[in-house]
Structure 1
């Protein structure tokens, strides 16, 4: 039971995001015709997954300590795992493992900097800062909170992977990283809809709290359009192959999630199929994009 509690705070069903974003950076490195070191790829992937575990566990710990876990209505996609309220004695263990996971990421990062050069240091520092500040600080500021998820998973993971595997930089990883940037921002944004009252009660000031759900849905729409427009522009400019149009297909999931946001607003948690569609868009789009780039 205790191990199950700790494992639950890792939010394992969401950990797939990290490998997919790393895979997208891997695809751009292959498109650059670089020789990819299996060891470097394994280290990048390991560091990304442990970074994700760390941010999940630290978020669970601080949500428990603030009392938020006792106020949110849990769904499969929002409100946290709910693991700690039933096993409060495991809180310190969750904190320690979350910090150890961050340490693993940092150690891997230092090795990669020594191996590939100082140019990846800003990416690493930005990632660590996001992990440390997300729950306790960024959630109190609507705009940083809005873009932090996409910045961490989208831009930093994709760009960092490309830079480490190729030893350089180019327009391509920046351009394709916009896709997970916008979609993962939307993933967290929509998941905040059911938790507005609970989040506000513990001092959070997310975008939906600060500006309301109607404006949040407008932002969701802008991000959704921007994500898929980025793919079309990249195809039109010849940065990615024409077959990458397949990555636009999951737009139907975002449209479905958007319809749920417009129809149910704060009650969307009662209809988890819309939140699930939002997850499907955020996961399948960069995956298909990466596959299409490799096969292009």
Structure 2
């Protein structure tokens, strides 16, 4: 910490850079690991459940902190139009002296994930090392490397919040692979990737200038928005198909209470214009907000449906 940064200012910068408003996503995803374990007849210990939820929060915070630091030092923050859903928190542009603190906080969060992962590795066996190494790679490589590889950039958030936080955490809790967890994980896998894809739409030109190469740059805003719609509707198609296949209980269909909002989002995104005015994200904001709300509501309803039949 530099002399110009007080401890209080450093902590505040870290808190804002972690984007706490978005961290609720992590316990909802990791919660699926718990509810699918219950669905399969397991009874994980309370401390193990708390550690899974804590690891998910720390991993999510680490990604956000690394992203904030990278976007600040690369100069990207100076060229983006900030929205409630994109462009970062704005914490470091306001307090540039706290950049080092934020970077150290990111590594501290990552160290916490490693410590928890080591305990589960000892407890649940060497298979957990595969999940852990992949998770570490995604956290460290996402902003600086994966954002330059369009399809990997699309897949990485869904793998992190879906496959790793649901399937991996379920196996950490139960010691076994679960088809129930795999089926449930497809919802966050598709919807979180859709969320990050949609949130890249306002930043196409600044990201292009900064050397990024994600799908909105490759496809253009209209086709990228339509891909978001397809991913969201695909997540809703998973539930009845998994129920018919015997992988999820009928109560998982509770998620379909949010289906009208999903359809509205898909139609709105499909009708977006082929081009967006640079620096004017206003046409996107209603759909970006609905996308966030839909993701959180969908995961909450799915968790509730699994819990009701556990």
TM-score of the two chains, using structure 2 as the length reference: 0.92
Q: 1:124 to 1:266 in 2, by over 3 A?
A: farther
Deviation at 1:257, TM superposition (A): 3.1
Quick one: distance in 1 between partners of 2:142 and 2:49? 26
Q: Does 1:288 align with 2:296?
A: no
Q: Structure 1: 5+ residue runs without aligned partners?
A: none
Q: 1:263 is paired with a residue of what secondary structure?
A: coil
Tell me the equivalent position of 1:71.
79
Tell me the equivalent position of 2:55.
47
Superimposed CA distance per residue, residues 248-295 of structure 1 (whole angstroms, 9 cap, x where no aligned partner): 222333333334433356468314222111001111112211110121
Deviation at 1:218, TM superposition (A): 3.0
Q: 1:238 is paired with a residue of what secondary structure?
A: coil
Superimposed CA distance per residue, residues 171-197 of structure 1 (whole angstroms, 9 cap, x where no aligned partner): 111111000110011111111111000
Deviation at 1:217, TM superposition (A): 2.4
Superimposed CA distance per residue, residues 119-148 of structure 1 (whole angstroms, 9 cap, x where no aligned partner): 111111110000000000000010000111
Quick one: distance in 1 between partners of 2:263 and 2:77? 30
Quick one: distance in 2 between partners of 1:25 and 1:228? 19
Counterparts of 1:188-227 in structure 2, within 5 Å, are 188-227=196-235
Tell me the equivalent position of 1:263.
272
Of 103, 108, 116 in structure 1, the residue corresponding to residue 116 of structure 2 is 108
Deviation at 1:42, TM superposition (A): 1.1
Tell me the equivalent position of 1:277.
290
Quick one: distance in 2 between partners of 1:24 and 1:115? 20
Q: Does 1:251 align with 2:259?
A: yes
Quick one: distance in 2 between partners of 1:7 and 1:29? 32
Q: 1:197 to 1:166 in 2, by over 3 A?
A: same
Contact 2:39 2:306 survives alignment (8 Å): yes
TM-score of the two chains, using structure 1 as the length reference: 0.96
Q: 2:161 is paired with a residue of what secondary structure?
A: helix
Q: Let me know the Cα RMSD of the aligned residues.
A: 1.5
Q: Does 1:130 align with 2:138?
A: yes
Which structure has more helix as a fraction of its residues?
A: 1
Superimposed CA distance per residue, residues 77-134 of structure 1 (whole angstroms, 9 cap, x where no aligned partner): 1111111111100000000000111011011101110111111111111100000000
Counterparts of 1:35-184 in structure 2, within 5 Å, are 35-184=43-192
Single out whichever of 233-242 and 48-57 deviates more from structure 2: 233-242
Contact 1:253 1:280 survives alignment (8 Å): no
Quick one: distance in 2 between partners of 1:74 and 1:259? 25
Quick one: distance in 1 between partners of 2:221 and 2:71? 22
Quick one: distance in 2 between partners of 1:171 and 1:237? 11
Q: Structure 2: 5+ residue runs without aligned partners?
A: 1-7
Q: 1:47 is paired with a residue of what secondary structure?
A: helix
Quick one: distance in 1 between partners of 2:66 and 2:297? 26
Q: 1:137 to 1:143 in 2, by over 3 A?
A: same
